[in-house]
Each structure stands twice: as structure tokens, then as C-alpha cells.
Amino acid sequence: MLKRFGGPAGLPFYAFVDTRGDVIVNSMRPGDNGKKPENIGHPDKPEEVDWFLAMVRKAAPQSTPEESAVLEHWLRNQKK
């Protein structure tokens, strides 16, 4: 199933799908400067959080700015 959704062999991996089960977006963050995409796993680095928030915006465009702000605040302030 991971391969079907475009994922790597490892976890955690996220894929947001539509009602038909087609992938809208997954946690494979596009690579910088021609590098291969990388799985963000549990997002805790700034670039991983940025990608996760972009995933949510793409998969749930009806989410409100307030909901996004709560999610972003939690992700950026996790204890490591």
C-alpha cells in the first residue's frame, strides 16, 4: 500500500487521498536543488512542518486559517 501511495518502505508516512482513494498529496517532500524527494516522517524540522502544512492546505482547502494556525503552532512547538 505504501508504494501505491508513492511512499518509501518506512514509517511514518502520510498520504491524503480523495474519495476514490487517489492520492492528493503525500509526505514525500520535493527535493531542493534537484535532490530526490524525501519522506518527512514525523514533521519536526522547519522544512518538514512547512511541507506538512502545505499537504493539509492541498488536501483540506476548506480548513480555516484558525485551524491551520493551531496545527502550525503545535507542530513548531513540539518537545524534542
Helices 65-76, 46-59: crossing angle, 10 deg rounding: 150
Q: Are 57 and 69 in contact (CB under 8 A)?
A: no
pTM of the shown model: 0.90
Return the domain boundaries, the chain.
15-76
Residue 67 reports pLDDT greater than 80: yes
pLDDT digits (tens, 9 = 90+) for 15-37: 999 999 999 999 999 988 889 99
| Confidence at residue 20, expressed as pLDDT on a 0 to 100 scale | 96
DSSP structural state of residue 18: -
Give the helix/strand (H/E) hosting 15: strand 15-17
Q: How far apart are CA 7 and CA 37, in angstroms?
A: 10
Residue 80 reports pLDDT greater than 80: no
C-alpha cell at 56: 493539509
